[in-house]
């Protein structure tokens, strides 16, 4: 059976693939990155308040072809302290998204507390970096199987390879559009709209800098050309947007392996029928589906 992480219908996926989904979608639930409790006064002449350009900012970003997002976020804010055992909630993790804004032909990665995962989408296919996937798979194996299977065997099986998922999904990963849309929803309301800006020069280009919470929160918008968001800073978290419409897109990995091939390798190594591994995976998926139905039906 072949499955993959997806941003939709997660409860109907096998748990070993769903772990990656939880990690990825948790990043979109970091809450409002801007505290409007203390806002500056009116903008200087010639600089717009945020509410005057908000619609144009997000429309321009979502219409862009590509972007690179480099960020730092606390594990607790992204719920990664609950996902990865041993990760302190104060640990700051690194987020990287490159390529198409809509998540197709793009790559995203997150690293925190010694744990990491990287996903890639190319031409409708999704891939998960093997060494990261091995750690997630090992943590999600049935207890009896986990006792029998040598962890190093799984690691060696996927070493230097990418796990390919092809079950008819949309062929995209957690994307810049997901990040942008989350902020579009959060940065709404009168108070946020009244945030003022000062004009500064950064890296040779004029920008509008909006600050709140006595300067602890800051976001930077391009003052020339399209009003793209360039930087966001809130407490320990920091995001930088660059390479608008010029972000490199990833290529398909040269070395790939499927879930079926991983399960078959485990079964062969242990002398088990391949069907036994497949049935266990099917049972896990059925359990997830049943759990989802019971929690969503009211």
Q: Report the mean per-residue pLDDT for the chain.
A: 76
Q: Which pLDDT score, from 0 to 100, does residue 173 have?
A: 80
pLDDT, tens only, 8-28: 332 222 222 333 343 333 333
For the segment 70-90, the average pLDDT, to the nearest whole number, is 67
pLDDT value for 188: 81
pLDDT, tens digit, 9 for 90 and up, residues 151-207: 999 999 999 999 998 655 567 788 899 889 988 887 887 777 888 999 999 989 999
In whole angstroms, what is the distance from residue 30 CA to residue 183 CA? 10
Exposed / middle / buried, residue 8 (Cβ in 10 Å: 0-12, 13-18, 19+): exposed
pLDDT digits (tens, 9 = 90+) for 243-285: 999 999 999 999 999 988 998 998 888 888 866 555 555 555 5
pLDDT score recorded for residue 215: 79
Identify which of 170, 171, 176, 229 has the alpha carbon closest to the alpha carbon of residue 66.
Answer: 176
pLDDT at 237: 83
pLDDT of residue 105: 94
Span between the terminal Cα atoms of the chain, in Å: 31
The predicted pLDDT at position 226 comes to 97
Per-residue confidence (pLDDT) for residue 83, from 0 to 100? 52
Q: Is 189 left (phi over 0), alpha (psi -120 to 50) or beta?
A: left
Helix, strand, coil proportions of the chain in percent (round to 5)? 40, 25, 35
Q: What are the angstrom distances between the C-alpha of 229 and each of 77, 96, 268?
A: 21, 16, 52
**From the CB of residue 96, how many other CB atoms can be counted at a distance below 10 Å?**
14
**What pLDDT, on the 0 to 100 scale, is given for residue 70?**
95
Record the pTM.
0.72
């Amino acid at each position: 059976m072949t499955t993959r992480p997806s941003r939709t219908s997660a409860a109907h996926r096998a748990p070993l693939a769903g772990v990656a989904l939880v990690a990825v979608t948790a990043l979109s639930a970091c809450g409002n990155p801007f505290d409007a409790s203390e806002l500056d006064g009116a903008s200087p002449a010639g600089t717009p308040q945020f509410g005057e350009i908000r619609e144009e900012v997000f429309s321009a970003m979502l219409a862009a072809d590509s972007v690179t997002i480099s960020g730092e976020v606390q594990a607790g804010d992204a719920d990664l302290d609950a996902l990865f055992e041993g990760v302190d909630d104060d640990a700051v993790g690194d987020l990287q998204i490159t390529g198409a804004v809509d998540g197709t032909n793009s790559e995203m990665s997150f690293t925190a507390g010694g744990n990491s995962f990287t996903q890639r989408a190319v031409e409708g296919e999704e891939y998960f970096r093997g060494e990261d996937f091995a750690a997630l798979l090992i943590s999600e194996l049935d207890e009896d199987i986990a006792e029998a299977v040598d962890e190093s065997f799984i690691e060696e099986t996927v070493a230097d390879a990418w796990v390919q998922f092809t079950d008819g999904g949309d062929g995209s990963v957690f994307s810049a559009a997901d990040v942008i849309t989350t902020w579009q929803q959060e940065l709404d309301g009168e108070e946020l709209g009244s945030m003022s800006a000062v004009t500064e020069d950064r890296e040779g280009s004029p920008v509008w800098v909006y600050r709140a919470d006595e300067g602890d929160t800051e976001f930077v918008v391009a003052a020339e050309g399209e009003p793209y968001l360039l930087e966001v800073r809130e407490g320990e978290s920091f995001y930088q947007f660059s390479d608008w419409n010029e972000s490199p897109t990833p290529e398909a990995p040269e070395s790939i392996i499927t879930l079926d091939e991983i399960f078959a390798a485990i079964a062969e190594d242990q002398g088990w029928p391949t069907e036994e591994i497949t049935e266990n995976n099917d049972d896990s998926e059925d359990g997830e589906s049943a759990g989802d139905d019971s929690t969503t039906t009211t």
